[in-house]
Every structure is written in C-alpha cells, then in structure tokens.
Amino acid sequence: MTQHDYERLGYNGLSKRLFAAGYDLLNAGVENRVIPYRRLTAGLADGRVLEVGGGTGANLKFYPPGVDLTFVEPNPHMAHRLQRNARQLGMSVNVSPGFGEDLPFDDASFDTAVTTLVLCMVSDVERVVTEIRRVLKPGGRFLFYEHVVSSHSKIKAWQGLLNPFWKFATTGCNLNRDLSGEIELAGFSNVELRRFSLSVGLPITIPNIVGVAIA
C-alpha cells in the first residue's frame, strides 16, 4: 500500500489522524469485557484470514499461530499503528487500503473472515456482508462480534434518540443497526449467533451478538 492509495481513498484528514491516535485509549475502558468475544472470533480463525476494519490491531494477539492474515483498513493512521503493533508481536501481516463495501480480492479467496465492532461504522452494511460472503471459499466462515439494536422497544427508542450524538462523538459508530438481520439475510448457508447484553459503564447495557455464518 502507498500514500497515494490512501490519498485516493480520502483518508488523510486531521480527524482520521486524531481518531487513530485516540482509538486505543477510548477502548481501554471496555477492552477487558470484550476479550472473550475476540477469542470467539479471531481466536477461532484458520487458514487464509481476512479481517475487515482491522483498526490498530486489537485482535492481533488472539489469532492462532500459522494463519495467513490480511487486513482491510481504510484509515492510513490506523493501518500504520496496526503494522507497528504486528511487528512488535513478531507477526507478518498484509494490510490493504480499501473499504468493506468493495473488497479488493477475488471471489472465494479466504477460509475465514472476521469483524469485531466494525459493522456499526460502515456506510453500507448489506454491501459489506455481501462482499464478505463473496470472498469466502465455499464452506468458509464469517466470524463476527458486533453490538446491535435492542429487541426491547424502550431500549430501542433510547438507542434511536442517542444515536446522532453517539455517531458524532465516535466519528461514525451507530447504536441502532439490526446487524443480526443483515447477516441472516445475506445468503449464507447457515448462521448461528448468540445474543447477550454487555455493560460498558452506562446506565443500561448494550445488546451484542457473537456468531458464525457459513458461506
């Protein structure tokens, strides 16, 4: 990847640099609660693996030894930190600039795809999930951990009211997306997921899902 690639993607703004610089600090308060779900996603990956939205590499240390690991990350400042963190762990990884809506890979290229707390931020969830299915080999696995809209009307209403402020504060994270529905409708041969609520220090808990979809 080159600086030109990232300039073409329009990811050299100050806000993107600041978001990358503060991302790990923002996540530090909840990371211990998230670790079990990183183990159920990145920790179960095998073969040739694609992680969409790798960020600064929070999943790196959970991947099993021997996987062939590729990341797609549109923010060059995130990608730089991801590569640095991989080197510090003695890991060799591939990092490609790009968006989940248009993955720069051939059909049936990967054995496993992973997202963790990424689909809340993409522009087009349906397109991203469709692209993930496209690049997976037949029988390949999409391992996901995401927060989702609540099935309870009062919490759902609260998420809708808070979402504009939350999205602004987090530079794009949405609280009220039906990600389980998007995954279940994407044409996978089988989808298994578990729903649960996670406390992140707010007065109410946040609905989450963790699971696997088979291409």
Spans of all domains in the chain: 3-214
Q: Which two tokens stand for residue 183?
A: 């995954």
Residue 178 pLDDT more than 50?
yes
Q: Which two tokens stand for residue 58?
A: 């929070």
Angle at 24 between CA 20 and CA 30, to 5 degrees: 140
Q: Render pLDDT for 86-119 as a digit per residue (tens, 0 to 9).
A: 999 999 999 999 999 999 999 999 999 999 999 9
Q: Residue holding tokens 């990358």? A: 20
Average pLDDT for the chain: 86
Q: Is the pTM of this model over 0.75?
A: yes
What distance in Å separates the CA atoms of residue 163 and residue 67, rounded to the nearest whole number? 37
Residue 203 confidence class, pLDDT cut points 50, 70, 90: low
Angle at 214 between CA 35 and CA 83, to 5 degrees: 45
Give domain 3-214's CATH architecture. Answer: 3-Layer(aba) Sandwich (3.40)
